[in-house]
């Protein structure tokens, strides 16, 4: 099973298999300090946020998942219907397959056809050319482009890339050439303050930390190997919580998105408290679409909006930005991470 079509469907299969497996995004180690007087009403809450010049009515969105097969076409259409009916932004899976094999374009173009006025993010690997980046944006009339960083996945992938020497230079060229914002996105192994510095130094202003705790692409690609010899790498990377802590000294230089195992409005609230401006969910929405269908996924998203509004009232936050100023406490593991990494605690 070595064709691109099969690989895309294998990714969907293994990602859903991982949904119920025990993982931690590290956010269990973050607690808000309860304040008995919130001094506000639920009606005071605004869920609006911004990613650069992009305004979002809701601070969470459907993050990159799939494309490039008949099954992916159906999933993307269903997700686009959900995004349209809930006014959520949506990111697509990597469009690279459609740039090489035009017969797969429909699995991506279906999203814009289904959701003509929605906010959509195209997605490509960081090694792609400026021309490919522009073609990806044009294909779905994207409002932004995600460039994903996935070195561990590529190295474990049997047919993956082995040369990553020009990624940063390429990212800089694309950032300087595109007319839409560029979002740099990890794929589930988190970011470090060193990586953030490298990216901001070349002009990147939006970074999705995509920490460990959600879909594990080392595990997915290892399942596709005959010997499955990379099981010892399953714990590689920084959790979502650790990655957000790494962003703290760069909050004035970039806008950050939290993703990686986000499943509940409380996960979202904690992410905002650690400095994220928006939250992306992939595995949670994939699971809902595959097991519950479009209608129930829409209902769940509307419940998430209501619950997040209630939680923001609980901590006295009228908007997403103000959550960064609320009092939080870290457990010993995260506190130790901050000490060893020389990161500010508050």
* pLDDT of the chain, 346 residues: tens digit per residue: 334 445 677 777 767 777 767 689 999 999 999 999 999 999 999 999 999 999 999 999 999 988 888 889 999 999 999 999 999 999 999 999 999 999 999 999 999 999 999 999 999 999 999 999 999 999 999 999 999 999 999 999 999 999 999 999 999 999 999 999 999 999 999 999 999 999 999 999 999 999 999 999 999 999 999 999 999 999 999 999 999 999 999 999 999 999 999 999 999 999 999 999 999 999 999 999 999 999 999 999 999 999 999 999 999 999 999 999 999 999 999 999 999 999 998 7
CB 75 within 8 A of CB 343: no
- CA angle 239/241/242 to nearest 5° reads 65
**Per the annotation, does 46 bind a ligand?**
no
* 262 marked as binding residue: yes
Q: Show the domain range for 47.
A: 4-341
67 is in an annotated binding site: no
Residue 87 lies in a domain: yes
Nearest to 170 by CA among 199, 192, 196: 199
66 is in an annotated binding site: yes
Let me know if residue 119 belongs to a domain. Answer: yes
CA atoms within 13 A on the CB side of 271: 31
The CATH number of residue 113's host domain is: 3.20.20.70
Does 198 appear as a known binding residue? no
Contact 49, 320 (CB under 8 A): yes
Annotation-wise, does 154 bind a ligand?
yes
Per the annotation, does 63 bind a ligand?
no
Is 323 domain-assigned? yes
123 is in an annotated binding site: yes
- 94 annotated to a ligand binding site: yes
Residue-level pLDDT at 22: 67
Is 211 assigned to a binding site? no
d(CA 48, CA 344): 27
The reply to whether 197 sits in an annotated binding site is no
Q: Decide if 188 contacts 241 (C-beta within 8 A).
A: no
Eight-class DSSP state of 250: G
- Is the pTM higher than 0.85? The answer reads yes
62 - beta bridge partners? Answer: 90, 281
Helix axis angle for 130-140 and 167-177, nearest 10°, is: 50
35 domain residue, yes or no:
yes
Query: Measured between alpha carbons, how far is 185 from 258 in angstroms, rounded to an integer?
Result: 10
Residue 167 lies in a domain: yes
261 is in an annotated binding site: yes
Q: Determine, yes or no, domain membership for 346.
A: no
Phi-psi region of 101 (alpha: psi -120 to 50; beta: other; left: phi over 0): beta
Q: Does 7 count as an annotated binding residue?
A: yes
Q: Which of 179, 187, 180 is nearest to 207 (CA)?
A: 187
Q: Count up the domains in the chain and report the number.
A: 1
Question: Residue 66 burial (CB < 10 Å; 0-12/13-18/19+)?
Answer: buried
The annotation status of 263 as a binding-site residue, yes or no, is: yes
What is the pLDDT at residue 260? 96
Interatomic CA distance for residues 181 and 114, integer angstroms: 23
Task: Report the distance separating Cα 161 and Cα 163, nearest Å.
Answer: 6
What residues contact 202, with CB distance under 8 A and at least 6 apart? 168, 171, 172, 175
64 labeled part of a ligand binding site: yes
């Amino acid at each position: 099973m070595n064709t691109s079509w099969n690989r895309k469907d294998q990714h969907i299969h293994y990602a859903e298999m991982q949904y119920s497996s025990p993982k931690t995004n590290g956010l269990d180690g973050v607690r808000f300090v309860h304040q008995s007087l919130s001094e506000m009403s639920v009606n005071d809450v605004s869920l609006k946020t911004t990613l650069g010049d992009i305004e979002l009515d809701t601070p969470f969105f459907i993050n990159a998942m799939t494309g490039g097969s008949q099954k992916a076409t159906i999933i993307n259409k269903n997700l686009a219907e959900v995004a349209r009916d809930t006014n959520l932004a949506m990111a697509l899976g990597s469009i690279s397959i459609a740039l090489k094999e035009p017969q797969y374009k429909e699995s991506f173009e279906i999203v814009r056809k289904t959701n003509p006025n929605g906010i959509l993010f195209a997605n490509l690997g960081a090694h792609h050319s400026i021309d490919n980046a522009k073609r990806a944006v044009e294909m779905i009339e994207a409002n932004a482009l995600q460039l994903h960083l996935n070195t561990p996945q590529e190295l474990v992938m049997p047919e993956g890339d082995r040369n990553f020497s020009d990624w940063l230079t390429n990212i800089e060229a694309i950032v300087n050439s595109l007319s839409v914002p560029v979002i740099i996105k990890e794929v589930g192994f988190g970011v470090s303050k060193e990586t953030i510095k490298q990216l901001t130094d070349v002009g990147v202003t939006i970074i999705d930390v995509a920490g460990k705790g959600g879909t594990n692409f080392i595990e997915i690609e290892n399942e596709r190997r005959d010997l499955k010899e990379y099981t010892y790498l399953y714990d590689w990377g920084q959790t979502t919580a650790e990655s957000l802590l790494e962003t703290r000294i760069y909050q004035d230089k970039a806008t950050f998105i939290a993703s990686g195992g986000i499943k509940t409005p409380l996960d979202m609230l904690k992410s905002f408290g650690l400095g994220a401006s928006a939250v992306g969910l992939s595995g949670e929405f994939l699971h809902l679409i595959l097991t519950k269908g479009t209608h129930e996924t829409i209902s769940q998203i509307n419940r998430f909006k209501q619950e997040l509004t209630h939680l923001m009232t609980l901590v006295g936050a009228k908007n997403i930005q103000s959550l960064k100023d609320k009092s939080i406490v870290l457990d010993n593991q995260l506190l130790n991470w901050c000490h060893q990494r020389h990161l500010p605690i508050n």
